[in-house]
Structure 1
């Protein structure tokens, strides 16, 4: 039978389950400009006045192009680019640069990411890998404390350190995307964000809380403390936050291009910040030094990758290939789910199969995925329908299997349900942080960009490059901390750590049907997977599919991590299958929310459904060039 709960109930439950409130917006006012490398941030408290951010819409409908992100300012800037003749790539880079201003603890030029592009002219999907790389001098035991011989504690040693900083890839990604598909220069794409950084934006509850949560870390570094803790306190909600140093950095990049970042004075300042972090005298944090050199930045390249491709119920699913594990894991899980008539199942049965398929795909991810320059990733096998049929044999329709389970054997499979050979052990503990950001852009020509970018931890390494206004990443913590030659995610010099980022585009008959992506660390994969599963197999509308409560089964333990609303709705349905649920936030990430997706669905006649989260992470901002009523 068909699913029993109406999708409106799912959306309502998701709304009730989330807790974040106000979100950032723009209420522009003139402000004094600043000289390069001046002391920074918001107005003195004596001059503070409260402002109200403009309202956001989580779902809009229309034509002519669209932008959706977590932030109202960023989406507004991207939409303005579209309305003034820019294409999807131009608008995506402008939006990303704005997120570097308003979402600096989740993204920015000190980090990296992955971009997936659909070209309406050629019908081709192409991708750019802008993941950070390990320094050339990074040893295999970089995460081992030389004093104890034991791995550093993840918090605070690795998270707040120079040793965790990888070579940033965001600036190179922006330039590469503009060179391939854009119509504007890097300077033109940066101009709106530069103005936003100088004029400032209204602080929302999320921004305020993220500074408070990072107070001890941010107090450890002189430039970070000066930028985000003026007077020793987090910026107040409703006040205007300015970052003139970042505005000047954007101006430098506009004038001198990527050379300024990868081969100039700024390069030396980044290296100095990593090798000799600008710590305060009062901090008690250990802050291990890093191994970055100027030559590492000079050698960095954003890499063109072949996208992953699989088919799911008649749709072509394109994603990000290694070094990201997102495309492979989402694609494999969908291939496994395709073996079952999900649409005829009730809620409990459908979600049981979703959780089991997720666990199997995560098992294979842990065993086989890594940077393809260092690891022979069996991409064709992992996305093979025959392999999926054999993996689907592990799913008992009535009972959850024991987890963690072993990976499948990619060297020996025939697609039948006999005694399948077991692959390597595949239990894994992921340390990817939930604070990343994602944006989705479509233009009037039919071009589409799906882009996920990050600096890893909320606040990255905690290190603001002095006088430059941006935080450096701590992406190298995504490597396995202890070196093992058999581990595809082991530390190697020059290597890109495995990621879960999953920017995804689905085509129907060669034309875009759905583009989506999300932040969320290792839960990115299941956020994207579950949204596709909700939309196609469970028959939800896109807004309901995105808002519905979420759960993740990553093959780490028998219990699946779930949002409170998911537990409330489905625990009883799943209990007969032996599915056990634990609230999200009990482990790494400390939040009850899973993901914060954005998506655009493409309907007949150019009609667009543009969706962002209604409440997760304070809610997102969906914008469309020419709004029209739903349907």
Structure 2
């Protein structure tokens, strides 16, 4: 495992905007050209990033502008009421750093917070409650990113998002669908109902939606900086909403115990990225409390022992599924907040440990049961008392609702950024007067123990977010990331395998059917996969498919080509249609 220090840089360039191909194309939106590039799930967010690049901002400035706009147009996945992980490649010095602004547990939290009479409370009741709300980290993360590595102020980068919140945007079919899925939760809370429901139903597609409360919140941040969020009227409104959730008549939800001190004490963390190598690429991922970087790296280390390029696609996908199964067994046993336990990262990322795990994979025969975790402590020089392998246990239920964006600038800086409010619509609690939804991130903890990921005061729950940057010969090669709860890990891993091993151009790698094996009996697949020739080939090896298939993830990627151009790729069908932009069209 290699760690590299990083230092700030300020780089930018100004060129003209070129839009991606329209949504009617057969594959994902793709834009190829020079200068800066951006890919997000929202046209307005991608345009916000491009506007900042064209005004002289760098990739960090543009990423915050896109993220703030996504908080308006994609409010059920992300926003200032949540947290995330930002990975930055700085061309000045060729360094990679990460900013952990994951939500943290209030000081009043104990391991019994989600227990009642010694038993775990109902998950859905836990979600729609003040007790589910962690101290939001997004605003502090944006501040630290801009202060250390950006060139612009909150006032400048929030301007596009304020404009969208003021003027409004047209509700899409996908937006309408997301609201319709959450009507029961939203009707509990008048503030969110007033924004997104009409006569008790989801706002119809085509409606112009404005959010003056969110525009007000962003204007206060523009005027006072991050302190406007963590101290003052907005902070007080958040604490009141968490401790005494404003509910509809006759509704009752649990309150939380967040305080003004919890907000004032929040800090983001500048962390060294995780690093592994794979077929000539240097792969950088998020360290704990995210489990994304280490689980992707562990699976890649296992797969590196096979000559995948010489194999049929079914054999490659079989090995990908089995490597995922093994790496998830270790993820579930060992990963948590590194400030609360010794995570055996050196062992988990050891090539020798990967070789030992590889021996459990059988050619063309899927494992019949969940894999047991291995013992990574045997593969690291660690004199501390180890936490030995835990018994295999079912994976924690984890929301699939997050967002990812990726941005680069002409100077070669790259941002890969995943952030969230957890479930669709978070806790459902919208801060009155400020228009943003509070997260339900505390339900990412395991509700009971013993386990590395049980709730504790100040602790950050384990995440699956996996923003990833790959270098080759010391230069950016590609970036990739996705939403999707624990399926984030398999989406990132499968896309890398598709691109690197199966030789797919990135747009095909993103658009290919996704399979997600997370150490369960059956593998999650997308609609239309079961019964296909691809599925039939894998079924001969003993793979089985879970019921109720749903789209998996909503990836965004950049590829840095040998001729100096960049290819931006977003989704062509999942989560609506994304938008990929470059500053100047390639020829």
Alignment partner of 1:581: what SS?
A: coil
2:351 to 379, 385, 392: 385
Alignment-derived partner of residue 235 in structure 2: 267
Alignment-derived partner of residue 77 in structure 2: 106
Alignment of 1:142-291 (within 5 A): 142-145=113-116, 148-155=117-124, 157-283=125-251, 286-291=252-257
Measure how far apart 1:583 and its partner are.
4.0
8 Å contact kept, 2:402–2:418: yes
Alignment-derived partner of residue 609 in structure 1: 567
2:469 to 505, 513, 522: 505
8 Å contact kept, 2:332–2:395: no
8 Å contact kept, 1:551–1:563: yes
Alignment partner of 1:163: what SS?
A: helix
Q: Deviations over 1:572-616 (max 9, x none)?
A: 21123212222454xxxxxx1011000000012321111011100
- Cα separation, 2, equivalents of 1:511 and 1:584: 42
Alignment of 1:11-410 (within 5 A): 58-145=29-116, 148-155=117-124, 157-283=125-251, 286-410=252-376
Q: Deviations over 1:331-367 (max 9, x none)?
A: 0000000001111111221111000000010011011
* Structure 2, gaps ≥5 residues long: 1-21, 381-387
TM-score, normalization by structure 2: 0.92
Q: Which range moves more in the overlay, 316-325 or 58-67?
A: 58-67
CA gap of 1:213–1:330, structure 2 versus 1, over 3 A, is same
- Is 2:460 the partner of 1:489? no
Alignment-derived partner of residue 507 in structure 2: 543
* Structure 1, gaps ≥5 residues long: 1-52, 415-421, 586-591
- Is 2:397 the partner of 1:426? no
8 Å contact kept, 2:143–2:226: yes
- Cα separation, 2, equivalents of 1:273 and 1:311: 46
Q: Deviations over 1:491-543 (max 9, x none)?
A: 11100000000000000011000101000000000000000000001111110
Alignment-derived partner of residue 24 in structure 1: none
Alignment partner of 1:63: what SS?
A: strand
Structure 1 stretches of 4+ with a deviation exceeding 4 A read 53-57
- Cα separation, 2, equivalents of 1:499 and 1:569: 34
Measure how far apart 1:179 and its partner are.
1.0
Alignment partner of 1:129: what SS?
A: strand
- Cα separation, 2, equivalents of 1:177 and 1:306: 15
Measure how far apart 1:54 and its partner are.
9.1
Measure how far apart 1:181 and its partner are.
0.9
- Cα separation, 1, equivalents of 2:437 and 2:77: 10
8 Å contact kept, 1:456–1:474: yes
- Cα separation, 2, equivalents of 1:223 and 1:576: 52
- Cα separation, 1, equivalents of 2:177 and 2:367: 40
Measure how far apart 1:424 and its partner are.
2.9
TM-score, normalization by structure 1: 0.86
